């Protein structure tokens, strides 16, 4: 049984994908709005204080584990699944991926739970003893959500490889809505603990919806696990190094005045949320598309698709950043200047968002470059390049923090994102040039240059 269609049918599928684009944008936007509402509830009801700092610090290591392990696993699985021709092979690989991911994260969660009193104080050296203990308790609660999110990410990769993007988006909306409802009902009574419960509920709901509706269950072929992990290993090793930027940021911001960590985290999350909308609507259904182009050796079309997508990403991000500069303060004041958040906090938030502007402009371009490398089958080049850029960026961020506090740190983060994107795009161009030169002239394009463009496996949190 064949999963994928002929070129003419695939072209029709591309038109259908473009027809589903409004649904993808709507689903992504709804997820962002509801996630934003959760951020709003936490900050306006509890304020930017050491209490919220403790919660956002507690999120750090679970998020790093997802970045380091789950995200690389799924970046490898998605293009591999996309070119599977036999249904039995597809489903065996899919269920092996899901179950292996869940097994890994159960083990990781147990280790982190037991060792939390040892590593949390190292993560937040500027916290008081009470705030540190609060971070330990919150971290242990959040580990359940980490397991659920890893399973949901693996299932999302399977859905996307099948060419289905709307249902994963809808499942995300349902998950975040359920968590928001819990937050609304329980935050005033239970405080920051309710935020941790809501995090777990969100990703448990999403994982159940995505895994439970896949169907076609197949016994995992554990013999596939070893080559799958070997192919993922360069990404995991690289991410284990350069994704520690989250930990570096938490260590530095724990030394800042109370609320600094919370506001920087909120600024990053707001810009990341915008980036997710861009990724899922502009960068959205293309990893399968690029994988098929690479598999067929259609490098001219591959290159044109990449150029068009990157140009569009940069234009959109620049326009959003300009709007933030012109209208950001009144808009943020209208939304956040309530209850425990004052005008001073709003101004600090805007400064941090503007200082992080390079992250908005460059992150989607870097993500597209990564996806392009993975579609080609090259996982080493982008990993090594990002690790080198990150090595240089650590000292820059520390120096910027010492000179200008949290705003300086935000500028250092921007510099890292921009530099990384430029390096990756340069290397992608160098990689494609000899392939395009070797391609026979006059070969017809596989799907044209207007195909859909890659699904994101971004890690999400409150």
Q: How confident is the chain (462 residues) per 10-residue block, as mean pLDDT?
A: 36 44 67 80 87 92 90 81 77 89 96 96 92 95 96 90 84 93 92 94 96 85 82 81 83 90 88 77 66 78 80 85 88 80 86 91 83 79 86 90 93 93 91 75 42 44 64
What residue ranges do the domains of the chain occupy?
7-438
CA distance 390 to 392: 5
Residue 181, φ and ψ in degrees, nearest 5: -60, -45
Q: How much is the pLDDT for 433?
A: 81
Q: Which two tokens stand for residue 6?
A: 């002929």
Q: How far is CA 143 from the centre of its chain?
A: 18
pLDDT digits (tens, 9 = 90+) for 102-112: 999 999 999 99
CA distance 17 to 450: 11
Overall pTM > 0.85: no
CA distance 342 to 346: 7
Q: How much is the pLDDT for 14?
A: 43
List the end-to-end C-alpha distance of the chain, in Å, as a whole number: 42
Q: Which two tokens stand for residue 338?
A: 């309530």
Q: Which two tokens stand for residue 394?
A: 């650590």
Q: How much is the pLDDT for 443?
A: 46
Q: How much is the pLDDT for 441?
A: 57
Q: How much is the pLDDT for 402?
A: 92
Strand partners, 86: 2
Residues with Cβ within 8 Å of 200's Cβ and at least 6 positions away in sequence, in order, are 141, 142, 144, 145, 148
Q: How much is the pLDDT for 112?
A: 96
Radius of gyration of the chain (CA): 22
pLDDT digits (tens, 9 = 90+) for 173-209: 999 999 999 999 999 899 999 999 999 999 999 999 9
Beta strands in 20-82 (DSSP E): none
Q: How much is the pLDDT for 102?
A: 95
Q: How much is the pLDDT for 36?
A: 78
The H-assigned helical ranges of 162-298 are 166-190, 192-212, 225-242, 245-254, 260-281, 286-296
Strand partners, 2: 86
301, 445 contact by CB (below 8 A): yes
Listed residue (66, 57, 171) closest to 108, CA to CA:
66
Token pair 């490098």 in the structure block, residue: 299
160, 90 contact by CB (below 8 A): no
């Amino acid at each position: 049984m064949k999963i994928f269609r002929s070129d003419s049918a695939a072209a029709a599928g591309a038109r259908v994908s473009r027809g589903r684009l409004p649904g993808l944008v709507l689903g992504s936007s709804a997820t962002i709005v509801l996630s934003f509402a959760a951020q709003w509830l936490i900050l306006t009801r509890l304020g930017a204080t050491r209490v919220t700092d403790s919660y956002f610090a507690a999120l750090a290591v679970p998020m790093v584990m997802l970045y380091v392990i789950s995200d690389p696993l799924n970046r490898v699985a998605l293009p591999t699944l996309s070119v599977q021709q036999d249904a039995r092979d597809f489903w065996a690989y899919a269920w092996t991926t899901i179950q292996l991911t869940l097994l890994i994260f159960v083990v990781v969660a147990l280790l982190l739970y037991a060792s939390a009193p040892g590593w949390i104080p190292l993560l937040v050296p500027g916290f008081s003893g009470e705030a540190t203990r609060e971070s330990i308790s919150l971290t242990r609660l959040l580990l359940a959500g980490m397991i659920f999110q890893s399973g949901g990410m693996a299932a999302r990769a399977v859905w996307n490889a099948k060419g289905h993007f709307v249902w994963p988006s809808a499942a995300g909306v349902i998950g975040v809505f359920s968590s928001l409802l819990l937050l609304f009902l329980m935050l005033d009574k239970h405080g920051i603990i309710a935020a941790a419960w809501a995090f777990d509920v969100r990703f448990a709901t999403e994982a159940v919806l995505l895994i439970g509706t896949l169907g076609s269950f197949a016994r995992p072929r554990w013999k596939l696990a070893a080559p799958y992990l070997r192919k993922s290993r360069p990404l995991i090793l690289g991410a284990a190094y350069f994704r520690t930027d989250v930990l570096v940021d938490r260590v530095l911001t724990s030394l800042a005045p109370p609320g600094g960590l919370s506001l920087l985290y909120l600024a990053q999350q707001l810009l990341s949320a915008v980036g997710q909308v861009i990724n899922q609507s502009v960068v959205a259904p293309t990893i399968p598309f690029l994988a098929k182009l690479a598999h067929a050796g259609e490098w001219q079309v591959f290159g044109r698709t990449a150029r068009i997508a990157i140009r569009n990403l940069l234009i959109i991000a620049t326009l959003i950043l300009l709007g933030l500069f012109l209208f950001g303060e009144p808009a943020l004041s209208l939304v956040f200047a309530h209850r425990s958040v004052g005008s001073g906090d709003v101004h600090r938030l805007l400064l941090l968002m503007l200082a992080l502007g390079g992250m908005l402009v460059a992150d989607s371009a870097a993500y597209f470059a990564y996806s392009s490398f993975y579609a080609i089958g090259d996982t080493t080049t982008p990993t090594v390049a990002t690790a080198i850029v990150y090595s240089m960026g650590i000292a820059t961020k520390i120096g910027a923090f010492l000179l200008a506090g949290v705003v300086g740190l935000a500028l250092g983060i921007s510099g890292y994102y921009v530099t990384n994107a430029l390096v990756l795009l340069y290397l992608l161009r160098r990689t494609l040039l000899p392939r395009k030169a070797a391609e026979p002239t006059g070969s017809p394009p596989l799907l044209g240059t207007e195909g859909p463009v890659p699904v994101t496996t971004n890690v999400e949190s409150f």
